[in-house]
C-alpha cells in the first residue's frame, strides 16, 4: 500500500506542476549535482534504463547545461576556474561496470562527463569496475572519487572504523595509480561532524550527502546536496520535477 500511495503522490505532484506550467525548463538557482547508481535495463530500484538515461542527457544538452567536475567547482570557489553559464555535476555511486559500458558512452555522445564514486574493495569484483576501466575513465575526463572502502554507513561506526574507511579508500585508489582523490560520497548519505572533520584532516575537499537541494559557493563543501535520479515512473517530466523539488529545497533551506 505504501508504494501505491507514493506513486499516487508523485502523479499528483506531476499533474500539479504541469497545471502551473513549471516543467518547461529546469530551475537554476544553484549548481545541481545528479546522483545515479546503475544505468542498465535490469529491474532494479537503483537502476535507470539506458533509454531514460539517454533522454535525460539529451535534454540537459538541449537546455544548455555544461558539465563540470567537483574539483572544478572547488577551484571556481577560490577564483581559479570560470564556471560556464549553466554548470551541472553528474555523479554515480558504487562503481558499477555499466557506468563504463552504458553510461559514459551516452554522456560522451552529448558532451557530458561526471564523477564516479568507487567502493574501493569492490574493484574488479563481479558487476563492478576494474582498475583498468577506472584508469581508462580518467583518461576520458571522468573524475574518480571515494565511496569508502566497504560501503558502510559512516555515522554508525566507531571513530577508528570511520577513519579506516575514509583514509584507506583514498590511499588505495591513489596507490593503485589513480589521480589524487579529493571527494567522497557518503554511503547511504550517512555522516556526522566527526566524519566531516576526518575528511578535512585527510585532505578531502568535500563530501556529498543524499540531501536534496542545489549548491552555491556558500554551501558547506562537506555537506554538498544532490538530486537522486532513480528509474522514473513518468519519464522526463519526473526528471524535471526532481530539479524543481531541489530548487524549492534550496530556497526553503531544508
Q: In Å, what is the CA distance from 176 to each residue of 96, 118, 170?
A: 18, 13, 10
CA angle (101 as vertex; 235, 188 as ends), nearest 5: 65
Q: Give the whole-angstrom CA distance, residue 103 versus residue 92.
A: 10
Q: What is the pLDDT of residue 13?
A: 47
Helix (H) or strand (E) holding 34: strand 33-36
In contact, 50 and 40? CB cutoff 8 Å? yes
| DSSP secondary structure, 63-118, as one string | TT-EE--HHHHHHHHTTSSPPPSSEEEEEEEE-BHHIIIIIHHHHHHTT---EEEE
Cell digits of residue 63: 537546455
- pLDDT tens per residue, the chain (254 residues)? 444 444 444 443 444 444 333 333 444 578 999 999 999 998 888 899 999 999 999 999 999 999 999 999 999 999 999 999 999 999 999 999 999 999 999 999 999 999 999 999 999 999 999 999 999 999 999 999 999 999 999 999 999 999 999 999 999 999 999 999 999 999 999 999 999 999 999 999 999 999 998 999 999 999 999 999 998 888 899 998 888 888 777 766 65
Q: Give the whole-angstrom CA distance, residue 114 versus residue 35.
A: 10
Q: What is the pLDDT of residue 14?
A: 45
Q: What is the pLDDT of residue 241?
A: 87
- The pTM is what? 0.88
Cell digits of residue 142: 571522468
Q: What is the pLDDT of residue 35?
A: 97
Ranges of H-type helices in the chain: 2-19, 50-62, 70-77, 97-98, 104-109, 131-139, 159-175, 193-201, 235-252
Q: What is the pLDDT of residue 5?
A: 40
Amino acid at each position: 500500500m505504501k508504494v501505491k500511495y507514493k506513486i499516487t503522490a508523485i502523479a499528483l505532484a506531476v499533474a500539479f506542476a504541469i497545471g502551473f506550467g513549471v516543467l518547461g525548463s529546469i530551475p537554476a538557482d544553484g549548481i545541481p549535482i545528479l546522483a545515479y547508481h546503475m544505468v542498465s535495463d535490469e529491474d532494479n530500484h537503483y537502476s535507470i534504463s539506458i533509454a531514460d538515461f539517454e533522454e535525460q542527457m539529451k535534454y540537459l544538452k538541449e537546455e544548455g547545461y555544461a558539465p563540470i567536475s567537483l574539483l572544478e567547482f572547488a577551484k571556481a570557489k577560490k577564483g581559479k576556474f570560470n564556471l560556464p553559464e549553466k554548470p551541472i555535476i553528474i555523479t554515480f555511486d558504487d562503481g558499477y561496470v555499466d557506468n563504463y559500458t552504458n553510461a559514459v558512452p551516452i554522456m560522451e555522445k552529448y558532451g557530458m562527463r561526471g564523477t564516479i564514486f568507487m567502493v574501493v574493495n569492490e574493484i574488479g569484483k563481479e558487476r563492478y569496475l576494474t582498475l583498468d576501466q577506472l584508469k581508462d575513465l580518467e583518461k576520458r575526463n571522468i573524475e574518480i572519487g571515494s565511496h569508502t572502502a566497504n560501503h558502510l554507513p559512516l555515522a554508525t561506526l566507531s571513530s577508528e572504523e570511520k577513519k579506516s574507511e575514509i583514509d584507506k579508500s583514498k590511499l588505495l585508489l591513489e596507490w593503485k595509480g589513480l589521480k589524487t582523490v579529493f571527494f567522497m560520497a557518503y554511503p547511504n548519505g550517512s555522516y556526522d561532524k566527526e566524519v566531516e572533520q576526518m575528511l578535512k584532516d585527510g585532505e578531502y575537499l568535500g563530501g556529498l550527502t543524499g540531501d536534496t537541494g542545489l549548491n552555491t559557493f556558500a554551501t558547506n563543501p562537506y555537506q554538498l546536496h544532490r538530486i537522486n535520479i532513480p528509474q522514473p515512473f513518468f519519464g522526463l517530466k519526473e526528471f524535471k520535477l526532481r530539479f524543481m523539488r531541489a530548487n524549492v529545497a534550496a530556497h526553503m533551506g531544508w
